Amino acid sequence: MFYRLLIGYYHDPVAVIERTARRMTAVIILSLPLYALILALVYRSERRFFVEHLVLVIHLQAFSLVAMLPNYLIIPRNVFTTVVAVGIVAGHIWYYLLALRRYFGESWGKTVGRWLVFAFLSSFVVVGGAIAAYFLG
For the segment 79-126, what is each residue's pLDDT rounded down to a tens digit?
A: 777 787 788 889 889 999 999 999 999 999 999 999 999 999 999 998
CB 70 within 8 A of CB 83: no
Q: What separation in angstroms does the CA of 119 have from each of 72, 94, 125?
A: 23, 13, 10
Q: How confident is the model at residue 50 (pLDDT cuts 50, 70, 90)?
A: very high
Determine the pLDDT at residue 59.
94
Higher per-residue pLDDT: 120 or 30: 120
Q: Is the pLDDT of residue 135 over 80?
A: no
Residues 6+ positions from 101 with CB-CB distance below 8 Å: 108, 111
Amino acid, res. 90: A
Q: What does pTM read for this prediction?
A: 0.79
Distance, CA of 81 to CA of 29 (rounded, Å): 27
Q: Where are the domains of the chain?
A: 2-136
